[in-house]
Amino acid sequence: MSWILSALLAVVALAPVQPNEIEDYLREQQAELRIPGLAYVVVGPSGVISQGAWGVEADTPFLIGSVSKPVTAQAVMRLVEAGRVGLDDPVRRHVPWFDLADEDAAARITVRHLLTHTSGLGQWASRTDRFDNSADGLARSVRDLADVEPERAPGAAHEYSDANYMVLGALVETVSGKPYGEFLRSEIFEPLGMEHAAATEADAQRVGLPAGHRYWLGHPRGFDRGYDTSGSPYGYVAASLDDMARFARDHLGGRHSEMHKGQTANGYGLGWRDTEMDGTRVVWHAGATPGFFAHVVLLPDADVAVVVLANSYSLALDGSLAALGFNVARMTQGQAVQTSDTDPTFSVVLYVLLAVAALLVIGIARTLIRRRFRLLSAILWAAGCAVLIALVLVVLPAQLGGDLGMALLWTPDIGWAALVVAALAIILIAVICHKVVRRHVLKA
C-alpha cells in the first residue's frame, strides 16, 4: 500500500500544473534559446510523473557537467557508509601523496573540506578540461596541485573549485583500489539501473555519447572535443534523461538527507546546494561542459525532483538555462514562472572585438598607402598595438575565467575574435616597422 500512497502524493504534488503546460514552456524556451536538443523529467518516489524530449531521445546520453559533483559525493559517501573513510579524516590518510605548495594546509584538509569546497583551494587552482584519457590521468591532475598555493586556510570559507573534486576522485581510486569510472559503474550506475551512464572514454563510446553544441554569434554549432576521463569526478560524467531520473529519484525520500544539508554560509552541502526558491527549500546542482548543460532540482518537502538536460551551452545563456530547471520546479508547485535574461556582457565583448578588428583593417590599409610616418607616431602606434595584443590574449581571457585556450573552448567566437584582433595588430606593427625602416633607416 505504501507505493500507492507515494503515487497519490506525487500526483497531488503535480496537480497545480499539467504536464503539457511544462512542455509548452520548455518548447518555447528551446526555440528562444536555440537549443538543438532539450529533455526534462519530473519524478516522485514511485517513478516518473511527466517527461518530454525534443531533438533527442530519453536514452540519449548528455554530459552533465558539474552535476557530476553530486555523483562523486555519493561515491565518497559509499565509502563513508562502509566505514572505509571518515568525513573529517585528513585527505592524506587515504591519499598520502596529496600535496600542495603549503605543506601545512595539505596536511589539514579533510574529506569534508573537499566535499563542501572549503579546502582553501581557489576557483582556478587547477587546469580543467584536460581531455586526458590515460589510465593515470586523474592522479596526474591531482599531482599537479603540488605547486598550487591555497588562497585561504582549510575550513575558513567556501570557494567553489573543481580541484576539490579532482582530489575526491583520486581518493575514491586509492581507497577502493579501482579506477574511478569502474567504481561509479559498480557502486552507483549499475545498482540504480543507469544503463547509458559513463565515466570513462570507453564507456562514453559504448553508450554513444553524441556531439554537443557551442554558440557562434548566438547560433548553435556542433562540437565534439572528445571525452575527458580525468575530468569525470568534477564535470564529465555522461548520463541520459532516464539515467538522471533514476539518480534524482534515489535522492528523494530522505535517503541522502545528510548530503543535502547546507554546511557553508551559502548553503553548500556534500555535493549539493541547499537554498530557497520563493520560500520553498530546494536542493540542487547545475553544470555545464562545452556543448552540454544539466540541472537537477530536488524539492524535499514535496518529495519531487526535476531534471533538465540540454545539448548546447554558452556562458551568455547560463542564467537562462539554469532558469529552466527552477521554473519547471516552480510549475510543479503551482508557482509563477520567473524570466531570466541572457548575459549581455559576452555579446558586447564579441562585438567590440569585431569592431576593433574592422578598425585595424582600416588602419593597415591606411598605413600601407601612407607615404610619410613620423618616428614618434610610429612608436606610439606600435606600443598601442602591443598593449592591445596583451589585452585580448591575456587580460580578456583572464576576465572570462581562464586563459586563451579556455576562451577558445568555452566561448569560441570570442576566442577566435581575440586571435584575429591580435593577428591584425601584429600585422599593423609589421607594416609600421616596414615604413619606418624604409624612411628612417634605408634612406639614411
Give me the active site residues, please.
66
Q: Which of 196, 285, 198, 181 minimizes the C-alpha distance to 242?
A: 196
* Nearest CA-CA partner of 305 in 285, 290, 279: 285
Task: Kindly list the distances between the CA atom of residue 17 and the CA atoms of 30, 47, 89, in Å, as whole numbers in the listed order.
Answer: 20, 18, 46
> Dihedral (C-alpha) 310, 291, 142, 89: value to the nearest 10 degrees?
-10
Selection from 98, 133, 130 nearest residue 114 by Cα: 98
- Between the CA atoms of 375, 378, 380 and 384, what dihedral angle is there, to the nearest 10 degrees? -160
Number of neighbouring beta carbons within 10 Å of residue 174: 16
Locus of grid cell 562523486:
72
Whose cell is 534524482? That residue is 248
CA distance 194 to 178: 19
**Backbone angle region of 437, left / alpha / beta, with phi > 0 → left and psi within -120 to 50 → alpha:** alpha
Which grid cell sits at 95?
A: 591519499
Cβ atoms within 10 Å of 177's Cβ, excluding its own: 8
Q: For residue 364, what is its C-alpha cell? A: 593597415
Nearest to 283 by CA among 271, 272, 270: 272
User: At 348, is the secondary structure helix, strand, or coil?
Assistant: helix
Per-residue DSSP letters for 255-299? TTHHHHS--STT-B-SSSEEEEETTEEEEEEEEEETTEEEEEEEE
CA distance 158 to 267: 10
Query: On the CB side of 166, how many CA atoms lie within 13 Å of its CA?
Result: 30
Distance of CA 127 to the CA centre of its chain: 13
If you search the block for the grid coordinates 520560500, which residue do you land on? 279
